[in-house]
């Protein structure tokens, strides 16, 4: 797909790629408005949707949470922190579902899947430990 790159779109894309994170439109808006004070949240959001539809970035729809945009458009799984809601890529060998095994399930023709792994990230675990120590 041929995508016209406006200046705004280019900056939004660049900041997401450089963040190497999975950001919500709000988080990205906070970053790009430092560079383009007149940009609106709606514009950031619209550009992110366009970029993800063009396959340039990924989009994560996590149950019951705000959409996040992924600097990496390739298929991969994610792990979520239940405490701070950060999202990390999951690169554990064999952790994901093998797509080849999923061509058909119960007569369905499978077009995609979503794996949600939830845990507590190292930062939040460390915070919990500190809390425990404070109580002693
Ligand atoms: Zn966390
Ligand atoms: Zn990712």
Please give the distance, rounded to the nearest whole angstrom, from the Cα atom of residue 118 to the centre of ligand 1.
Answer: 10
Query: What pLDDT is attached to residue 70?
Result: 95
Query: What pLDDT is attached to residue 134?
Result: 74
CB-CB contact of 25 with 68 (8 Å): no
| Residues around ligand 2, an ion, CB closer than 5 A | 70, 89
Using a 10 angstrom Cβ sphere, with 0-12 exposed, 13-18 middle and 19 or more buried, the burial of residue 18 is: exposed
CB-CB contact of 8 with 53 (8 Å): no
Query: What pLDDT is attached to residue 136?
Result: 59
| CB burial readout 25-61, b (16+ within 10 A) else e | bebbbebbeeeeeebeeebbbebbebbbeeebbbebe
Please give the distance, rounded to the nearest whole angstrom, from the Cα atom of residue 116 to the centre of ligand 2.
Answer: 12
Torsion of CA 120, 124, 129, 134, to 10 degrees: -140
CATH 3.40.50.720 fits 76-136, yes or no: no
Please give the distance, rounded to the nearest whole angstrom, from the Cα atom of residue 112 to the centre of ligand 1.
Answer: 27
Q: Where are the domains of the chain?
A: 1-74, 76-136
Block means of pLDDT (10 residues each) for the chain, 136 residues, are 84 96 95 96 97 94 84 88 89 62 75 82 93 74
Query: What pLDDT is attached to residue 8?
Result: 95
Please give the distance, rounded to the nearest whole angstrom, from the Cα atom of residue 35 to the centre of ligand 1.
Answer: 28
Query: What pLDDT is attached to residue 56?
Result: 95
CATH number for domain 1-74, candidates 1.10.10.10, 3.60.15.10, 1.25.10.10, 2.40.50.140: 1.10.10.10
């Amino acid at each position: 797909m041929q995508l016209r790159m406006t200046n705004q779109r280019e900056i939004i894309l660049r900041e997401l790629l450089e963040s190497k994170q999975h950001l919500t439109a709000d988080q990205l808006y906070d970053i790009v408005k430092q560079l383009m004070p007149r940009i609106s949240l709606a514009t950031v959001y619209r550009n992110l949707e366009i970029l993800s539809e063009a396959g340039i970035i990924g989009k994560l729809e996590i149950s019951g949470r705000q959409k996040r945009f992924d600097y990496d458009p390739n298929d991969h799984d994610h792990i979520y922190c239940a405490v701070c809601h950060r999202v990390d890529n999951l690169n554990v060998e064999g952790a994901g579902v093998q797509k080849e095994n999923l061509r058909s399930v119960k007569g369905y023709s499978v077009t995609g899947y979503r794996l949600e792994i939830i845990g507590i990230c190292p930062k939040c675990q460390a915070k919990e430990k500190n809390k425990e120590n404070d109580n002693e």
